[in-house]
Amino acid sequence: MSETGAGNIFVISAPSGSGKTSLANRLISEVPGISFSISYTTRPPRGLEHAGREYHFVDGAQFRQMIAEDRFLEWENVYGHYYGTAGAPVDEALSRNEDILLDIDVKGARRVKERRPDAILIFVMPPTYPELERRLRQRGLDGELQIRNRLKIARDEIKGYKMYEYLIVNRDIEDSVSRLKAIVLAARSRMVRMERAGQEILRTFGD
């Protein structure tokens, strides 16, 4: 947990198959004081997904009402289904002096940065295109058409990496987890976050 009275917003993005989810899960489980932002979606649950764990599942009317009320930091329509990050849970985490992690794509990250310039953007990249293709095939979740579509999307997403403050090339999971942890810990020590703690310590020294 931070010592400043305000947490950090971390945004992590990556092409599908880059290992982003594994990195995010390790960060949440191994670093205290950081929670995961659960997105809203209008698509139905898949497999073993549960409401409030993977997503908040809502209908189209409710999602559009939330848009009208400006309740999203970012949202988009993907293949006919809406996805969005609500602002209130993010603000609630920050007010509790906790960090929060948003797992969203490049477009969403750009929108969050526009609304919250203090957000810290982290991009996870596969070592090479062939390695990303190998990982997508190895995990066995998609057919050939879906794999080709994911690889096409990956090309477009990777072009936006320069917008991010940090880049992790995920060659080795343990090294990448260490780098992700280091980014979070370094952000917690920035002067903008630690100034109040410094002033409190300074007062103990007297005049």
Residue 122 has pLDDT above 60, yes or no: yes
How far is Cα 92 from Cα 112, in angstroms, rounded to an integer?
Answer: 16
* pLDDT confidence of residue 4: 41
pTM: 0.88
How far is Cα 19 from Cα 17, in angstroms, rounded to an integer?
Answer: 6
Instruction: Retrieve residue 53's tokens.
Output: 């764990």
The CATH number of domain 9-37+98-203, selected from 1.10.1740.10, 3.40.50.300, 1.20.1050.140, 3.40.605.10: 3.40.50.300
pLDDT digits (tens, 9 = 90+) for 110-121: 999 999 999 999
* pLDDT confidence of residue 115: 95
Residue 142 has pLDDT above 50, yes or no: yes
33 CB burial (10 A radius; 0-12, 13-18, 19+): middle
Split at pLDDT 50, 70, 90, the class of 48 is: confident
Split at pLDDT 50, 70, 90, the class of 196 is: confident
Taking residues 53-63, what's their average pLDDT? 94
- The per-residue pLDDT of the chain, averaged, comes to 92
* pLDDT confidence of residue 3: 42
Split at pLDDT 50, 70, 90, the class of 140 is: confident
Instruction: Retrieve residue 75's tokens.
Output: 């949202």
Taking residues 15-25, what's their average pLDDT? 93
Taking residues 56-75, what's their average pLDDT? 97
How far is Cα 88 from Cα 121, in angstroms, rounded to an integer?
Answer: 20
Q: Virtual CA dihedral for 29, 31, 34, 38, nearest 10 degrees?
A: -20
Split at pLDDT 50, 70, 90, the class of 1 is: very low
